[in-house]
Amino acid sequence: MFIGVDCGTQSTKVVVLDIDKARVLGEASRPHHLIEGEGGRREQQPSEWLEALRGAFEEAVSEAGIDRRAIRAIGVSGQQHGMVALDDAGEPVHPAKLWCDTETAPQNTDLITRLGGEAGCLEKLGLVLQTGYTASKVAWLRETHPEAYRRIDALLLPHDYLNFWLTGERVAEAGDASGTGYFDTRSRRWRHDVLAEIAPELDPERVLPRLIDSHEPAGRIRREVARQLGLADDVLVSSGGGDNMLGAIGTGNIRPGLVTMSLGTSGTVCAFSPEPVVLDSAMVANFCSSNCGWLPLVCTMNVTSATTRMRELLGLDLATFGARVAEAPPGAEGVTMLPFFNGERVPMLPEASASLAGLTSVNTSQANLCRAVIEGATFGLHYGLELFGGLSEGVDQIRLIGGGAKSPVWRQMVADITDAQVICPEITDAAALGAALQAAWCHQRQGDAEASLSALCDRVVHLDEGSRADPDPARVATYRDVYARYCRELAGRYPLVNQN
Q: How far apart are CA 151 and CA 87, in angstroms?
A: 5
Model pLDDT for residues 109-161, shown as the tens digit of each residue: 999 999 999 999 999 999 999 888 999 999 999 999 999 999 999 999 999 99
Q: How far apart are CA 157 and CA 173, in angstroms?
A: 10
State whether the Cα torsion 175-179-184-185 is positive or negative.
positive
State whether the Cα torsion 236-241-245-251 is positive or negative.
positive
Check residue 500 and give its pLDDT: 43
Long-range contacts of 471-474 (CB under 8 A, 24+ apart): 471/415, 471/416, 471/418, 471/419, 471/420, 471/421, 472/412, 472/415, 472/416
| Catalytic residue check, 243 | yes
Check residue 499 and give its pLDDT: 47
Q: How far apart are CA 151 and CA 129, in angstroms?
A: 25
Model pLDDT for residues 209-236, shown as the tens digit of each residue: 999 999 999 999 999 999 999 999 999 9
- A 10 A CB-CB count for 200 gives 8
Closest of 282, 256, 293, 154 to residue 210, by C-alpha: 154
Q: How far apart are CA 447 and CA 437, in angstroms?
A: 16
Check residue 72 and give its pLDDT: 98
Check residue 36 and give its pLDDT: 93
Q: How far apart are CA 83 and CA 142, in angstroms?
A: 13
Judge whether residue 309 has pLDDT over 80. Answer: yes
Residue range 388-401: mean pLDDT, rounded: 81
Residue range 456-467: mean pLDDT, rounded: 95
3-state helix, strand, coil in the chain (%, to 5): 40, 25, 35
CB distance 421 to 397 below 8 Å: yes
Residue count of the chain: 500
Model pLDDT for residues 31-74, shown as the tens digit of each residue: 999 999 999 999 999 999 999 999 999 999 999 999 999 999 99
Domains of the chain as residue ranges with CATH: 2-244 (3.30.420.40)
Q: How far apart are the first and last CA of the chain?
A: 45
Q: CA separation (Å) from 63 to 59, 378, 470?
A: 6, 35, 35
Residue 172's beta-bridge partner residues?
A: 211
Residues 6+ apart with CB under 8 A from 103: 37, 39, 40, 41, 42, 97, 140
What share of the chain has pLDDT > 70, as a percent?
99
Residue 464's beta-bridge partner residues?
A: 424
Closest of 285, 282, 288 to residue 298, by C-alpha: 285
What share of the chain has pLDDT > 90, as a percent?
86
Q: How far apart are CA 303 and CA 245, in angstroms?
A: 19
Judge whether residue 391 has pLDDT over 80. Answer: no
User: For all residues of the chain together, what is the average pLDDT?
Assistant: 94
Q: Which of 160, 243, 416, 429 is catalytic?
A: 243
Q: How far apart are CA 369 and CA 373, in angstroms?
A: 6
Judge whether residue 443 has pLDDT over 60. Answer: yes
Residues 6+ apart with CB under 8 A from 357: 335, 336, 337, 338, 489
Q: How far apart are CA 301 and CA 404, in angstroms?
A: 14
State whether the Cα torsion 234-235-236-241 is positive or negative.
negative
Q: CA separation (Å) from 188 to 66, 128, 261, 301?
A: 39, 16, 25, 26
